[in-house]
Amino acid sequence: MGKNMTTRKYVGMDIGSTTAKVTVLDRNKKVLYSEYKRHHTNIKETVESMIKNICRFADAGGMTVTVTGSAGTAISKHLSLPYMQEVLACTKAVEFLLPQTDTAIELGGEDAKITFFKGGLEQRMN
């Protein structure tokens, strides 16, 4: 992939226990594409389909891809892509998009997570 940062795209893939999500952002963090679907345990086929769908956004500037989610570790290893633990990914997104947030609750297919931002960062997960 090229080194032209002016056209670089950012891709986030969240492969959870029941669903898969992908979002493509431009260099200004504007959403160019997003997709959400239940994978019905056909994770490989679902991820392949999503990758085909995001390839149309590839250009000389390249893409930076990060994977998260409970099923994301295996996908990231298989595709040699960086992995970010999902609680950390959610925390970074909330801090960037909604810096005034006091508390965030994330409900997933297998677990629930709560992050307290005020008075020092504190996270809990069931």
DSSP SS3 for 69: coil
Structure tokens at 10: 């950012």
At 8-34, the pLDDT tens digits run 899 999 999 999 999 999 989 899 999
- Residue for token pair 């997104």: 93
**Whether residue 36 sits in one domain with residue 96:** no
Domains held by the chain: number: 2
Confidence label for 1 from pLDDT (cuts 50, 70 and 90): very low
Regarding whether 90 and 47 lie in a shared domain, the answer is no
- Are 80 and 90 within one domain? no
Q: Does 24 share its domain with 64?
A: yes
What is the span of the domain harbouring residue 111? 85-126
> Do residues 80 and 91 share a domain?
no
Whether pTM exceeds 0.85: no
Cβ neighbours, 10 Å, residue 109: 12
pLDDT at 43: 95
- Shared domain check, 54 and 114: no
Q: Quick one: 89 and 102 in the same domain?
A: yes
User: For residue range 72-108, what is the model confidence (pLDDT) as tens digits?
Assistant: 999 999 999 999 998 899 999 999 889 999 999 988 7
Clarify whether residues 24 and 3 are in a common domain.
yes
Q: What contacts 4, CB < 8 A, 6 or more positions away?
A: 60, 61, 62
Q: Which residues contact 9 (CB under 8 A, 6 or more apart)?
A: 24, 25, 26, 27, 32, 57, 58, 59, 61, 62, 63, 64
Residues 80 and 93 in one domain: no
69 and 9 assigned to the same domain: yes
**pLDDT for residue 4 is more than 80:** no
